[in-house]
Amino acid sequence: MSFNTFGRLFRFTTWGESHGPALGAVVDGCPPGIALSEQDIQPWLDKRRPGTSRFTTQRREPDQVRILSGVFEGRTTGTPISLMIENVDQRSKDYGNVALAYRPGHADYAYDAKYGFRDYRGGGRSSARETAARVAAGAVARAVIPQVRIRAWVESIAGDRIDYEAFDDAQIDANPFFCPDRAAAQRWEAIVDGARKSGSSVGAVVACEATGVPAGWGAPLYAKLDSELASACMSINAVKGFEIGDGFAAAALTGEQNADPMRAGNGGPRFLANHAGGIAGGIATGQPVTMRVAFKPTSSILTPVDTITRTGEETQIATKGRHDPCVGIRGVPVVEAMVAWVLADQALLHRGQCG
Ligand SMILES: Cc1cc2nc3c(=O)[nH]c(=O)nc-3n(C[C@H](O)[C@H](O)[C@H](O)COP(=O)(O)O)c2cc1C
């Protein structure tokens, strides 16, 4: 299978399946001499790790990362960095029915249509277990651009939105929803619990902001920073929408309302608004780069759904096993990792062309 690699100058390739012995990433093109250890990667994996609250899947994976190559005496050598995470809590018996019938909303039918043969255990390669490898790779990207702060949070669950007046950065890591609004986090307990107990699921919107991105990173036309970020985030499992800055809401504004007026500042221009999400013409303006990512409701639900078998007979399937009632929650560290990757890649590309 091709297309397992992401990035232009700075690239990672992920490997592994949901129920294989391990999964991981090979990072290539990392500059040499960067301080890197497993301790720099583990905290990001711990944020994505399953089974940390009742609001996520109960699959118990320690997600301990090992660096197998590319680092010597605590510094990157410029050679491929191989990262490995063992799978320890696979229960393939949960998936016996998936071998025979396709789960709607999953990649089962599409993979069969393309390859004619698939590892159906836990979704195989299409499982979001793969996103653990992205998060490990994203930690390397963060080490390449330590001057950039990348922060994501859940903005809404099942359409219930946070109040930005109540935004408290310290709250994001203080509740199981990565929610910056304490009152919204309390409401979400009932919403996600309700979905979990009834075997249903809900969708979510994840917002992400990168600060410290200097004006000039990015590229025109076919590698616009907006399109690189969109490609990165849309490649995440269950993502169905992406917006930069005001996104779709900008289409309802007038030109006056949507302007990002400029005044002279001390160290460069001062912008009075940021409707454009910190990007103009595909290139960063130096303002915060802001985006939103829409996650669909988890496809695995207990209610039987109409489907067909591999041999074309009509049947129904209810997806048992352990699942996230709201995949957007654990999507937060994955979005951060992909954004970190794009920005580190663009930093190296900018240095390559413009010095
Ligand atoms: C962190 C994360 C965890 C996920 N966990 C589940 C899950 O437990 N059950 C499920 O049905 N889908 C889960 N998904 C989504 C599926 O992997 C995804 O919907 C499926 O592979 C089909 O791909 P698509 O939705 O991108 O088309 C998860 C996604 C992410 C990002």
Ligand 1 centroid – CA 298 distance (Å) = 6
List pLDDT tens digits, range 5-50. Answer: 999 999 999 999 999 999 999 999 999 999 999 999 999 999 998 8
Whole-angstrom Cα Rg for the chain:
21
> Ligand 1 within 6 A of 236 CB?
yes
Provide the pairing of β-strand 75-76 with 22-28.
unpaired
The model's confidence at residue 98, banded by pLDDT at 50, 70 and 90, is confident
Residue with tokens 């050598």: 77
Over residues 194-207, the pLDDT tens digits come to 999 999 999 999 99
The band of 92, judged by pLDDT with boundaries at 50, 70 and 90, is low
Higher-pLDDT residue of 53 and 292 is 292
The dihedral built from the CA positions of residue 226, 231, 232 and 235, taken in this order, carries a sign that is positive
Residues 6+ apart with CB under 8 A from 276: 244, 245, 246, 260, 285, 287
pLDDT band at 295 (very low <50, low <70, confident <90, very high): very high
What was the pLDDT predicted at 93? Answer: 66
The tokens for 299 are 């496809």
- Please indicate whether residue 128, judged by its CB atom, sits closer than 6 Å to ligand 1: yes
Domain that holds residue 78: 5-354
Quote the CA–CA distance of 273 and 288 in Å, as a whole number: 11
CATH number of the domain at 200, please.
3.60.150.10
Q: What is the pLDDT of residues 107-165, one digit of tens each?
A: 999 999 999 988 888 889 999 999 999 999 999 999 999 999 999 999 999 999 999 99
Q: What is the pLDDT of residue 51?
A: 79
Decide: residue 176, CB within 10 A, 0-12 exposed, 13-18 middle, 19+ buried: middle
**Residue 56: per-residue pLDDT:** 84
Average pLDDT over residues 79-103: 86
Q: pTM higher than 0.75, yes or no?
A: yes
φ and ψ at 14, to 5 degrees? Answer: -100, 155
Q: 300 in ligand 1 pocket by Cβ < 6 Å? A: yes
Quick one: average pLDDT of 63-67?
97
Count of structural domains, the chain: 1
Q: Candidates 125, 154, 327: which one to mutate for ligand 1, based on the most atoms within 8 Å of Cβ?
A: 327
Is residue 258 over pLDDT 70? yes
CB distance 204 to 295 below 8 Å:
yes
